[in-house]
Amino acid sequence: MTYLQDGGEQPWIQRPWIRGILDILQEAVEGGTPGQGTSFLDGTAADGTGNHGLIATLAALNAQQASDPTALGLSVAAHAAHMAFHLEVGVRWEQGERGPFDWKGSFGSGQVTAEEWNTLQARVQAAYEALVEVANRPNPDGAPEDAAGGLAGAAAHVAYHLGAVRQTIKLLQPRLQQPGL
């Protein structure tokens, strides 16, 4: 998904720093563009390999792997549920909702079945797309501070949890090599 719909830009999106924030969010969620440099992720090769954005990272795991909390205490599924919730709250905030929000509960149980894992991955994707859609809406007042701060927070938050997910996966590596996992 690209944040510029139909090749046009909304007035507040024309500000380079807002576009930059959306670029970082897009890279964190979708990964790099094949054959091009990246801002902070490992580069994606011209053939599309090496895409290490959130969506590709989650898709590489099955439900059992995603449910393993490892020594770090939180499973990949817990991180994914929390990221989806955070992105959803960003949209709800822009719609005027001010909480309270159940941040602690947003991690869920951390355990998922295969069906729940597929649903959770779709939820992360949908939450990301909804936030990007909100960012693309025309705003005659320019970029409100809440919106700009929310986008920056979303990009930083997803990048942080993507790093935590990657560290969790590193702890899973010996188990990922075992048959049946």
- Neighbouring residues of 108: CB distance < 8 A, sequence distance ≥ 6: 77, 78, 81, 82
User: What digits encode the pLDDT tens for the residues 5-50?
Assistant: 444 544 555 567 778 889 999 999 999 887 777 888 876 777 767 7
pLDDT attached to residue 30: 93
- pTM for the whole thing? 0.85
pLDDT attached to residue 33: 80
Quickly state the pLDDT bin for 117 (edges 50, 70, 90): very high
Would you kindly state where each structural domain of the chain is located, as residue ranges?
12-30+51-176
158-174 mean pLDDT: 91
CATH class as words, domain 12-30+51-176? mainly alpha
pLDDT attached to residue 5: 46
Rounded to whole angstroms, the Cα distance separating 82 from 175 reads 24
Buried b (16+ CB within 10 A) or exposed e, 164-175: bbeebbeebeee
pLDDT attached to residue 1: 46
pLDDT attached to residue 80: 98
Q: Is the pLDDT of residue 133 over 60?
A: yes
User: What digits encode the pLDDT tens for the residues 78-100?
Assistant: 999 999 999 999 999 888 899 99
